[in-house]
Structure 1
């Protein structure tokens, strides 16, 4: 080996391998600290692109689950209002049956009719007052056959969006709730037809069938609410499962394998220690040349 002063080839080589080992140690430390295999685009450009698309999809699916759960709460609120209307209609049926018999005087029927009208007024009040997050549910606000979301306030039936795109078959449902006031159900003083009053025996008898029709109309609305709620609950389950599977797939791409990376960390640590020791030895070799001059 040639002894020279100006350069130290062994130190240069040792320094090169020390830098490589230190870079590997730094990379392993970063991965173990963050728990991620991909911490920058340089780590895996293609993997990063796929992982970020999956992250966006997962975030959108999770928000879709929340949207669907909000819609379920809305439907439960509407059904709760309809259940109270149900009780009022049953009471009105009972009052009409009571007024239909001939054992009551006209004054007594007027008293019965006053409660009948109070029940009808309460039905209308419940229909106008039932709301979810400021959205009126039973007053006909959501009874439209079409939906328009072009304005600041959407009109027509309610659009529940839960998907990651905008395809009708996959990404949203419509919620349509019919008008549920007393007049819409055909009962009470504001209605047209025989169920507007039970102040006479003939009116009371004629009101019985109309009240039955009102109960059927109310049941159709509740059945529609129930079917939509069941459908949304199934949707929540499907979206949750899809989100979980995507998270697993994204984890396999972006997350670090702790066992493998720990082994790489120990390897890099040993190489750094070894290269550091060899660099120290290499830096002492030029001093041997001084002994030749003495």
Structure 2
């Protein structure tokens, strides 16, 4: 006596199990917000997504690099402006002492102030630092990684503003001739510092340009990666409802068949 349709019950059980798996995947996507929750969801899409993520994270770090570079340039600008002001005062003293009406006491007082000003210039060059690196104490390039890939770097020039570099080491105002010669030396130093300030401004604009480009590119890549990897909540909710209905239908069918079998078997008990 045939008491059940074996193929029908097997099909229902198989479909029920498949719906359980599909429902679990849908719940994973809804809870995580990711369309690609695991590699099996979309292997090719995951590969593209990870490549985009590497670029996005690289661009984010390059922006932090450039922000550090801008901070260095701001500090350099402040230091150069300080040196410029000190040089202006030195020039003023030199012009004053180039006048032959000053006596020895006047020149001694001016010499003392000159030495203090020169020391202040050297202190600025020696002590102005960013992350323990000198900003105005040596001539060298400062390389910044401004992109996510190799070769995407720019270099800004760090400068030496010590009195030796400016040609003012050992300057004196003890004679009228010394003072007159110092005027010319200070003029040359002022030209150098002014040129350095101009370069700092140009470098600052260049870094800002690269920073804006990196921010724009990161935004575009983030949007693309989001479209590729993030789940469509409305669509997945529809899938969840549909799969849940199918799962409940199969469960009821299996339960109904099993109950009928039990009732029939009880007749033979």
- Matches of 1:123 and 1:291 in 2, distance apart? 106
* 1:118 Cα deviation from its structure 2 partner: 1.7
* 1:123 Cα deviation from its structure 2 partner: 0.7
1:226 to 198, 201, 207: 201
**For residue 63 of structure 2, what is the aligned residue in structure 1?**
65
**For residue 163 of structure 1, what is the aligned residue in structure 2?**
147
* 1:292 Cα deviation from its structure 2 partner: 7.3
**For residue 172 of structure 1, what is the aligned residue in structure 2?**
153
Summarize deviations over 1:264-290 as a string: whole Å, max 9, x none. Answer: 111111111111111111212334644
**For residue 258 of structure 2, what is the aligned residue in structure 1?**
283
* 1:87 Cα deviation from its structure 2 partner: 1.2
Q: Assess if the C-alpha contact under 8 Å between 1:31 and 1:37 holds in 2.
A: yes
Q: Assess if the C-alpha contact under 8 Å between 1:117 and 1:188 holds in 2.
A: no
Q: Structure 1 67/61 Cα, relative in aligned 2: closer, same or farther at 3 Å?
A: same
- Matches of 2:264 and 2:144 in 1, distance apart? 84
| Runs of at least 5 residues in structure 1 that lack an aligned partner in the other structure | 145-156, 190-195
* 1:188 Cα deviation from its structure 2 partner: 4.2
Alignment of 1:34-183 (within 5 A): 34-140=32-138, 143-144=139-140, 157-167=141-151, 171-183=152-164
- Matches of 1:260 and 1:269 in 2, distance apart? 14
Q: Assess if the C-alpha contact under 8 Å between 1:55 and 1:250 holds in 2.
A: yes
2:188 to 213, 217, 239: 213
Q: Assess if the C-alpha contact under 8 Å between 1:78 and 1:131 holds in 2.
A: no
* 1:44 Cα deviation from its structure 2 partner: 0.4
Aligned length: 269
TM-score, reference length from structure 1: 0.86
Summarize deviations over 1:12-44 as a string: whole Å, max 9, x none. Answer: 222122112222211110100010011111110
- Matches of 2:266 and 2:200 in 1, distance apart? 98
Q: Assess if the C-alpha contact under 8 Å between 1:3 and 1:286 holds in 2.
A: no
Summarize deviations over 1:173-219 as a string: whole Å, max 9, x none. Answer: 11222221112112241xxxxxx222222221232222111101011
2:251 corresponds to 1:254: no
2:242 corresponds to 1:267: yes
**For residue 31 of structure 1, what is the aligned residue in structure 2?**
29
- Matches of 2:268 and 2:127 in 1, distance apart? 105
Q: Assess if the C-alpha contact under 8 Å between 1:116 and 1:188 holds in 2.
A: no
* 1:231 Cα deviation from its structure 2 partner: 1.1
Summarize deviations over 1:94-116 as a string: whole Å, max 9, x none. Answer: 11111122332122122112211
- Matches of 1:286 and 1:124 in 2, distance apart? 99
**For residue 3 of structure 1, what is the aligned residue in structure 2?**
2
